[in-house]
Amino acid sequence: MTTANEIENQYDVIVVGSGAGAMTSAIFAADQGNSVLIVEKSDKYGGTSAISGGGIWIPNNDEFKALGGNDSYDSALTYIKASSQGSVEESRIRAYLDNAPKMIRELQANSRVKYAVADKYPDYYPHLEGSLPGGRTMDPELFDTTGLGDEMDHQQPASGNTLLMGKMAWTARQAHKAVAKERGWMLMIIGLMLRYKLDFKARKKGRRDSRAGLGASLSASLRHSLIDRNIPLWRNTAFTDFVMDGDRVTGIKVTKDGQEIELSAKHGVIMGSGGFEQNQQLREKYLPAPSQQRWSATPAGCNTGAGLEAGLKIGAATDLLDWCWWAPTLNVPKEPSARGLFAERAFPGAIVVDGLGKRFFNEAAPYLEFGDAMYKNNEATGGKSVPAWVVFDSHFRFEYAMGPLMPGKIMPDSRAPKAWRDDVYFKADTLDELAGLIDVDAKGLAETTEKMNRYAETGIDEDFQRGGNVFDRYYGDSHVKPNPCLAPIKKGPFYAMKINPGDIGTKGGLLTNDSAQVVTPSGEAIEGLYAIGNCSSSVMGTSYPGAGSTIGPAMTFGYVAANHISANRK
C-alpha cells in the first residue's frame, strides 16, 4: 500500500473538506490501514461544523440506554419515515439507523471525541409516532484545546452566539439549563464564569477559552485525533474537479497555493465539501426566491457547491436541490455570516409578524419549518413575509436575549453598539409608531398583539398552538405560567428586528446509496466516489427530525464510506 510519506500526491483515500463528517471518515479510513489526505479550501478547517452546536441525532445510542432510556430501532424508523414522508429511500434510512450508534461508539472508543446524551432535548415533531421527548440528541462534552496549541488559530472561529457572553464555552445542556432558568442555573453560570476567569494561563494569552464547547469541541477533538494519526490536512487547497479512468473516479484536481495539482486516490474520494449556500448563482438557480447568500449562517465563502457541480459533470444524480436546512436569520453589521434564531422565537413575549402585522406560524416551531413557512406565507401574501419582523416589548427586552441583543439586564440599549439602532433593531414608544418605522400594517399589528395578550392569559394560542408540545416548551421559560412560551406584549418601549428565511446549509446534493456511494440517475454507483454531509442529498429528506440531524448523518455516512472503501479495497 502507498503511504502518504512516500509520494505526496498519491493516497489510498482523499477526503475533500474538513467538516465533522469529513474528519470522521478520515479517522476511520486511516484506522483501517489506508493512507489518507484531507484537502480544505479555506485557510480555516472545520467548516460550518466547527461553528455549529455540534449536536448529533443518534437514535438508539448507548448513552441514553445507560441512563435507562427507552429507544428502539423500530420506533426511530417509524418516526423518520413519518417525518420524511416518502422523500427518501427506506434502505438509506435503515443504513443510517444501522450505523449511527456504531459510528459514535467506535469513534468515542478510538479518538478524542466525547459526547453525552442530551436526555431532555426532544425530537422536533412530538406529534409523530415514534418520536421521543429526549435521548436521541447527543451533545459534545467540553474539550480541552491546550494540547492543540496554535492549531486552534486555524479552526473556524466559534461565533459569538454559541458562547456564554460571547466568550465562554458551554455545552448545549448547560445553555438549555440557563435559557429555561432551571433550578441551579445561576450557580452554574457563576461556576462557568469563575472557571473562565481563573484560567490564568489562558487569560494571559487572550479572550479565547481554553475549553471548546458545541461544534468547536467536536471539530477540535476530531482535529486532534487526526494529528494523533499523522493524517495530513492541507488548508488553502481547493478541489476543482475529478480525475477519471473511464467511469471510475481515481483522484482529484486541486488548486494549492495558486498551483494546479492532480492527486491520486487509489481506493476512493470522499466528498465532504458542504452544500452550495455560499454561491449566489446556484441559490438563484435552485432555491426558492428571494434568496440571499448573506442570509446564510454558514462561514462566508466556504461552501460554494464545487462537489455538486463536479458531480453533475460526470453524470451524478441529485436530489432535494430546492431545499435548505432553513433557519430564520438576521444580519449584524461587521459579522461575516448571519445569525440563526434557533431558540429565541420560543421565549415568551416575542412574536413574528409579516408586513400585514399578522402572525403566520407557530414561532416556537423548529427552524426548518419556520423558514419554510416564511416562504409559503410570502407567496400567499404577495411578498409580505420576506423580511418578517420579531416584535417584543420592554419586559421581554429586559429578561431575554434576541439575536445579538443580550437581555437588557446585562446589555441595556445604552451598552448595545450604536450602529445596531435602526439596523439590527428598531425601537419606539408605541406599537403604532414601531409599525410606522418598519413599514408594517399598524392595525394588523395592534389586532395581533391584542390577541396574543389574551392567549398569554389563557395559556392557549388559538391560532398556532404555540407552547402546546414538549418541543416548543423546551426553549420556553419554565417560570412563566400558564404557558412558558406565551407572555403579553404591553409595556413600551417596543422593539422589532428584521428576519429573513436564511439557512444553516443547503439540504440537497449528490444522490448516494446505502454505502454513501454517489449514484447515477439509473441508480448505478460511480466507482471510487462517495459523498457525505451537505454535499449529498439528506437522508432526512425534507424533514429535520431532531437536533443533530445534519451532522449525525454526515459523520455516520463518513463512517459508512470509510468502511465500504476498506471492505472493497483491491
Stretch that binds ligand FAD, among 38-46, 187-195, 226-234, 494-502 (CB under 6 A): 38-46
217 contributes a contact to ligand FAD by CB under 6 A: no
**Nearest of 15, 114, 17, 115 to residue 57 by alpha carbon:** 115
**Which residue from 17, 134, 404, 546 is in contact with ligand FAD, where contact means CB under 6 A?**
17
Alpha-carbon torsion (524, 530, 535, 540), positive or negative:
positive
First CA to last CA across the chain, in angstroms? 10
Grid coordinates given for 259: 498551483
19 contributes a contact to ligand FAD by CB under 6 A: yes
- C-alpha–C-alpha distance, residues 65 and 61, integer Å: 7
Site size for ligand FAD, by CB under 6 A?
42
**Which residue from 180, 320, 352, 554 is in contact with ligand FAD, where contact means CB under 6 A?**
554
**Nearest of 309, 283, 282, 308 to residue 295 by alpha carbon:** 283
Write each residue from 161 to 190 as x if it is in contact with ligand FAD (CB under 6 A), else as -, in one continuous string: ------------------------------
Residue type (1 letter), 97: L
Alpha-carbon torsion (397, 400, 404, 408), positive or negative:
positive
> Is the Cβ of residue 192 or residue 547 nearer to ligand FAD in the bound state?
547
440 contributes a contact to ligand FAD by CB under 6 A: no
Stretch that binds ligand FAD, among 12-20, 385-393, 398-406, 415-423 (CB under 6 A): 12-20
Stretch that binds ligand FAD, among 63-71, 191-199, 451-459, 533-541 (CB under 6 A): 533-541
**Which residue from 34, 35, 48, 60 is in contact with ligand FAD, where contact means CB under 6 A?**
48
39 contributes a contact to ligand FAD by CB under 6 A: yes
Interactions with ligand FAD, residue window 256-315 (CB under 6 A): 272-274, 297-298, 302-303, 306
16 contributes a contact to ligand FAD by CB under 6 A: yes
**Nearest of 284, 491, 496, 277 to residue 388 by alpha carbon:** 496
Interactions with ligand FAD, residue window 311-340 (CB under 6 A): 325, 340
CB 340, min distance to ligand FAD, A? 5
Cβ atoms of 350 and 323 within 8 Å: the answer is: no
Stretch that binds ligand FAD, among 48-56, 287-295, 443-451, 453-461 (CB under 6 A): 48-56
H or E element that contains 437: helix 431-438
- C-alpha–C-alpha distance, residues 411 and 397, integer Å: 10
CB 10, min distance to ligand FAD, A? 19
469 contributes a contact to ligand FAD by CB under 6 A: no
Contacts of 257 (CB under 8 A, 6+ apart): 236
**Which residue from 12, 40, 119, 363 is in contact with ligand FAD, where contact means CB under 6 A?**
40
**Nearest of 499, 501, 497 to residue 293 by alpha carbon:** 501
Conformational region of residue 527, where left means phi above 0, alpha means psi within -120 to 50, and beta covers everything else: beta
**Which residue from 164, 165, 238, 446 is in contact with ligand FAD, where contact means CB under 6 A?**
238
> Is the Cβ of residue 141 or residue 461 nearer to ligand FAD in the bound state?
141
**Nearest of 276, 289, 504 to residue 375 by alpha carbon:** 289
Give SS3 for 533: helix
343 contributes a contact to ligand FAD by CB under 6 A: no
> Is the Cβ of residue 41 or residue 223 nearer to ligand FAD in the bound state?
41
499 contributes a contact to ligand FAD by CB under 6 A: no
What's the gap between Cα 39 and its chain centre?
A: 22
Query: Residue 268: phi, psi to the nearest 5?
Result: 170, 155
Grid coordinates given for 411: 446589555
> Is the Cβ of residue 239 or residue 455 nearer to ligand FAD in the bound state?
239
Grid coordinates given for 224: 486532534
Residue pointed to by grid coordinates 431545499 = 323
221 contributes a contact to ligand FAD by CB under 6 A: no
H or E element that contains 152: none
Stretch that binds ligand FAD, among 46-54, 176-184, 316-324, 432-440 (CB under 6 A): 46-54
Binding site for ligand FAD (CB under 6 A): 16-19, 21-22, 39-42, 47-49, 51-55, 238-239, 272-274, 297-298, 302-303, 306, 325, 340, 504-505, 533-535, 547-552, 554
